[in-house]
Amino acid sequence: MANKITELFNIKYPIVQAGMVWNSGWRLASAASNAGVLGILGAGSMYPEVLREHIQKCQKATNKPFGVNVPMIYPNLEEIMDIIVEEGVKIVITSAGNPHTFTSWLKEKGITVVHVVSSVKFALKAQEAGVDAIVAEGFEAGGHNGREETTTLTLIPAVKEQIKIPLIAAGGIATGQAMMAAMVLGADGVQIGSRFVASEESSAHMDFKKYVVNSKEGDTHLTLKELAPVRMMKNKFYNDLQELYKTSPTKEQIKELLGRARTKLGMFEGDLDEGELEIGQVSAIIHDIKSVSEIVENLIKEFEEAKLKICSGQIF
């Protein structure tokens, strides 16, 4: 399955396992890389020295390429970037910030840089900053998201029309059929988050994984738009937040309710009532916790079946 993305990252399949706070440590990333996709460590929930440890463990667990996702809304960014360079990581995916801040610096060090965007405007800005590829993430996606609310189905062709560099689609992709659809729309590869949350190797708490596989359509919502929009599962914390919204709260009051470490509490420690449970709409069709290798095998099988269905005229 060779194309621009497999060549860019030197991987077998044009699939990126998304960097995800509290989910994507060295076990998930190395399993993904060993399965032929690009494994990504999520630096967003790691102190700098914890990241170094995960990079080193990942290097021992796989000889395949892997990268680090760096959301630019967290502190210690310079220290994190220095560790990435010192430890010899060759791929960085930045998100939630200005792509001009680190792209040239990382590229001077020989690192492949990808930036995550949620609109055409930011895709153009990332291309101008010199990134090697773009992840365009639709409104369906789990975790932090754009304010534009553009769905993947609309965003991918809109970005494709405007940019020249390789394009990776994200948001709502958990099957080989969806991967095929994204690539028909113009993507060169896909980034998958939620499906890998419900994997054996994800570092999420087992209770959160079970909550994900038992969830239904309509169970997630994009909220917290005043601070940084985030798609999460509806639970007690979510309901408390919606009650607060009825009182027209100030940003400070919202921040006060949010408090600290809600994502760790929910996704890592398994407090399903008080924690912030980030997940995408596609959780509605994720029904089991599987190993990463099974997930990847299924994705490829479904992708090939979809291709056959189209080519053999079963659809039209």
Helices (DSSP H) in 185-234: which residue ranges? 194-197, 206-213
Q: Which residue is nearest to ligand FMN (CB)?
A: 193
Q: Minimal distance in Å, beta carbon 248 to ligand FMN?
A: 29
The single-letter DSSP state of residue 49 is H
Q: Minimal distance in Å, beta carbon 19 to ligand FMN?
A: 5
How far is Cα 114 from Cα 180, in angstroms, rounded to an integer? 21
Q: Are 283 and 194 in contact (CB under 8 A)?
A: yes
**Which residues make up the interface to ligand FMN (CB under 6 A)?**
18-21, 23, 42, 44, 69, 71, 95, 116, 137, 140-143, 170-173, 191-194, 197, 267, 278-280, 282
How far is Cα 65 from Cα 39, in angstroms, rounded to an integer? 7
Q: Minimal distance in Å, beta carbon 95 to ligand FMN?
A: 3
Q: Minimal distance in Å, beta carbon 312 to ligand FMN?
A: 29
Q: Measured from the CB atom, is 200 or 249 closer to ligand FMN? A: 200
Nearest residue to 3 (alpha-carbon basis) of 192, 189, 137 = 189
- Residue 112's H or E segment, with its range, is strand 112-117
Q: Are 155 and 182 in contact (CB under 8 A)?
A: no
What residues contact residue 216 under an 8 Å CB cut-off, 6+ apart?
A: 284
Strands 230-233 and 189-192: unpaired
Q: Minimal distance in Å, beta carbon 109 to ligand FMN?
A: 21
Q: Measured from the CB atom, is 83 or 170 closer to ligand FMN? A: 170
Q: Measured from the CB atom, is 21 or 92 closer to ligand FMN? A: 21
Cβ neighbours around 57 below 10 Å, total: 16
Q: Measured from the CB atom, is 249 or 285 closer to ligand FMN? A: 285
Q: Measured from the CB atom, is 177 or 249 closer to ligand FMN? A: 177
Q: Measured from the CB atom, is 249 or 270 closer to ligand FMN? A: 270
Q: Minimal distance in Å, beta carbon 263 to ligand FMN?
A: 8
